[in-house]
Amino acid sequence: VAEVSYLMREERHDEARRALEATLARYPDDVSVLLTAGEVWESLQRTDSLRADEYLNLRRDAYRRVLAQVPDHFAANFNLGVALYNRAIHLMTEQQQDTELDALFTLLETCAALFREAMPLFEKTQSLRPEHKDSLRALEGIYHNLDEAEKLRVVRESLYSLK
Amino acid sequence: MRAQYLIVGFFLLLAAPAARAQGLGNYQAAERRVHGIFLYNLTRYVQWPEGHDQGAFIVGVLGQDPLQPEVEMLARTRKVGGRPMRVEIYKKTEEVPSDCHLLLVSPDESVHLSSVLRHTRGWPMLIVTQKPGLGRAGSTVNFVRRNNRPSFEINQAELRGRRLRCAQLLLRQAEVL
């Protein structure tokens, strides 16, 4: 884990990926290794946007394996939630303004599915830490996008009371 | 030996995975981009009557609208049927001229929709609003949310009253009122 982190900090991405894959093969259920894997895949996703969905699936797999062992793991819930939420936001904001409507609406369905998957993860982190602002902010965006008006009102009130 | 422990400890600290302060994307900006796409598709698939299809295509913004940067980006980078796009900002309804092709009414100004409709009655102008209920209140296109996604309503009677024609492709995607 330390070696992989070191290689990532040095931006030696290929070596980090190989080291990580070797470590994962050896310790497939080690929580610490899996959490590091999630972060490494995120860093690699940022450097290679063409393979964003592939890296998102790797992150999803790593965090799901942690959650299968420790369902209340705050970092695994939060980091996976952020991965899904940000992917949906990025899919929308990266669209060109001349995108055809058919393609846009298909893409928006994908985004809604990502928001739906992220929602229980942030609801979990919010239940674990009720005043965690980033969880509340993420829930605000999710409830808005999933037309959950009453939940949106409640989460906005919570955010307002924390200001 | 002590130095070795210190080095191992240092690397473990480096590696300690936790809930990182990852930045959250801006959902409002994402929705604004979707609305920007709606606007451009409106300019493509709505037909203005003869005499109003020449010169610059004027997009008016009434009031302060968060969508304005999207509109300005559209004007900088896109054309409407080969014509340049020009953005004009109006503070009051009375400033809206008859040669404006598409009027985006900001959410704050939409309380004055009835006076906007009176002022622009019969003009071949697409009135675009962004609040639930305004499609039935007489705006020609209203941005809403439906089925967990941004969508838009088209008021066909208003469209006809303004001599605007809408392509089937657009009607198929809209909620037609």
Residue B60 has pLDDT above 90, yes or no: yes
Q: How confident is the model at residue A68 (pLDDT cuts 50, 70, 90)?
A: very high
Calculate mean pLDDT across residues A68-74. Answer: 97
Output the six-digit token pair for A35. Answer: 């959490």
Task: Residue B18: list chain A partners with CB under 8 A.
Answer: 35, 75
The answer to whether the Cβ–Cβ distance between A6 and B173 falls below 8 Å is: no
In angstroms, the Cα distances linking A27 to A102, B19, B63 are 44, 21, 59
Which of B7, B149, B169, B175 would you mutate first to test chain A, the one with the most A CBs within 10 A?
B149
pLDDT at B136: 92
Q: How confident is the model at residue B16 (pLDDT cuts 50, 70, 90)?
A: very low
B141-146 sheet: strands from edge to edge: B85-90, B57-62, B102-105, B126-129, B141-146, B149-154, B175-176
Helices (H), B53-120: 68-77, 113-119
pLDDT at B15: 44
Task: Residue B40: list chain A partners with CB under 8 A.
Answer: 97-98
The answer to whether the Cβ–Cβ distance between B70 and A141 falls below 8 Å is: no
Residues A124-161: tens digit of each pLDDT:
999 999 999 999 999 999 999 999 999 999 999 999 99
Instruction: Provide φ and ψ at A12, rounded to 5°.
Output: -95, 75
Helices (H) then strands (E): counts for chain B? 6, 9
As a whole number of angstroms, the distance between CA A141 and CA A144 comes to 5
Residue B44 has pLDDT above 70, yes or no: yes
pLDDT at A14: 85
Output the six-digit token pair for B77. Answer: 């980078």
Rounded to the nearest angstrom, the minimum Cα separation between B167 and chain A is 12
Structure ipTM: 0.90
Residue A102 has pLDDT above 50, yes or no: yes
